Amino acid sequence: MDIENLKNIWQKKYADVPLQLQKVKNIKTVATAFNTNVDAVLKIKGESLKKLILDNNIPLSSLDNITLTEMHLPTDVILGIVKCFVRGIAEEWVTEDKSIYDWMAQNLGYDRLQMGGQGGIIANTLALLKINKVIAHTNSHPALQAEQFLDLDNLFAIDENGELAKACEISRDNDIPLIHWIIEFDKGDSFNIDGKEFTCPKSNRFIATYDPLNLNLVIDRNFVSYLNNTQIDYLILSGFHPLLARKNGIELIKNAVPLIKQWQKNNPQMITHLEVASTQDLAVRKAIVEYIAPLMQSAGLNERETIDLLNVCDGKDLAQKIERETTAPNLFDALLYLKQKLDIPRLQLHMFGLYLTLQDARFPFSGVENLRGMLTAAVVSSSKAYNGALEKYQDITLTLDVPPSDIGLGELTSLAQKLNKPELAENGICEFNGMFVSAVPTILVDKPKTLVGMGDTISSISLIAGR
Ligand code: GLC
């Protein structure tokens, strides 16, 4: 079938989204944990990056093939930006050195502050979708953090007295604000130093994080006991990714296990989802696979995180193959491999242009339901990219009439061919080795106003709207 016909078929499927959005309103309670912070967002132009390099006397030779993954010096921030800019990739580097934070505050500045952290971003989005009650874990909640929460009556966190309260009105004045720098850059932007050209192949972002609380997985015990005494439908977890093994990261992960188990014991019907996120420390990544993944009913990840997980799950060859060719057929193989390794009932990938889920009979919702969840996620997340933020209910469906992308339709078609399942291209679902595969070509926005938090939005909405 040609791509225009396929596009028409898919555009009709997108017409189901308003109904899914109605169903979402029946969900009673969702909790998000653990990481909430404030993001200071800065769009950097090639020329400003060049100025930073020159002003800080960074030698041209150190810009070749940067392998660093965390910051030890203020100038490492610049290396991180260059690394992501020239490869068009997304990375997050962390530091425990406050002088690096101070350097960023003085030398980078920012365009705006917004909600940060998977937990915080997901809480805002799900509350906007009118789920009855959304509870976010915050280990720091001063007024600056509260201001990043949407002013919604269904959005809660724990206040200074340990009680549940409207998140945007809490002011735990003794807490320190946790600000992460999000440095975004645009595809096609470039700069030239001494005749050497640096061009950005894909719009993306670099995150520089100084955050003593989230980096130590500090958990609010009032939140823990609140969840122990409340019926929860979905628990969406993240925040293990910035931990460092040499800073007790493995112990911190192990310590979270009994908490999660207790919450699950109190809520046997609850679906627990892990948003994998960019995890630089290999030992931490392994510990997430070993201790956290087995407790989950669902997990979400992007192309990069898929490669990262393969690298700690004896899947190096597959990882290299995907590094060379980041295609849906190769990523499908990876997902299949990881699903078995992690033994997780539902695993969802969001790649550029396509969302792909593998699930088995243990997951309580069907492949068709999941497909509708992914369609909903594609609309809401592309509306966010288009609009720059989601602040009002009307914002979530701004792209409802935009057709799915050719890139996504192409990836879907080649996946259907590889699996020898022609029905997958038109229906978006098929069975494979006793599992349910669902895939959706997504809506791509030409000039996205924002990209940060996109994966969090996609994963959480696919999950909760898959019904
Ligand atoms: C990471 C960052 C946070 C950002 C989030 C977006 O958690 O630390 O600042 O908001 O990713 O996904």
Residues of the chain above pLDDT 70, percent = 100
Query: Virtual CA dihedral for 108, 111, 113, 115, nearest 10 degrees?
Result: -100
- Residue 301 clears pLDDT 90, i.e. is over it: yes
Q: pTM score, two decimals? A: 0.95
At residue 451, the pLDDT reads: 84
CA of 116 to the centre of ligand 1 (A): 5
State whether the beta carbon of 76 lies less than 6 angstroms from ligand 1. no
Could you report the per-residue pLDDT of 363-377, keeping only the tens digit for each?
999 999 999 999 999
Nearest CA to ligand 1 atom 11: 117
List pLDDT tens digits, range 137-153: 999 999 999 999 999 99
For residue 96, pLDDT over 90 is answered with: no
Q: Residue 90: which pLDDT band, with cuts at 50, 70 and 90?
A: confident
For ligand 1, atom 1, the nearest C-alpha belongs to 117
What is the Å distance from ligand 1's center to 457 Cα?
12
Does residue 452 line the site of ligand 1, with CB under 6 A?
yes
Q: Per residue in 241-251, pLDDT tens?
A: 999 999 999 99
Residue minimizing CA distance to atom 5 of ligand 1:
117
Residue 290 near residue 256 (C-beta atoms within 8 A): no
Q: In what order do the strands lie in the sheet with 204-210?
A: 91-95, 204-210, 179-185, 37-43, 112-116
Taking only the tens place, the pLDDT of each residue in 17-64 is: 999 999 999 999 999 999 999 999 999 999 999 999 999 999 999 999
Q: For a substitution probing ligand 1, which of 32, 34, 35 has the most ligand atoms within 8 Å of its CB? A: 35
Percentage of the residues of the chain whose pLDDT score is greater than 90: 95
CA 236 to chain centre: 11
Cα 431-238-428 angle, rounded to 5 deg: 20
What is residue 135's predicted lDDT score, i.e. its pLDDT? 98
Task: Tell me the average pLDDT across 384-388.
Answer: 95
Nearest CA residue ID for atom 7, ligand 1: 117
180 Cβ closer than 6 Å to some ligand 1 atom: yes
Q: Which residues pair with 91 in a beta bridge?
A: 206
Which residue, judged by its Cα, is nearest atom 3 of ligand 1? 117
Tell me if 92 CB under 6 Å of ligand 1.
Answer: yes
* Residues 457, 128 contacting (CB under 8 angstroms): no
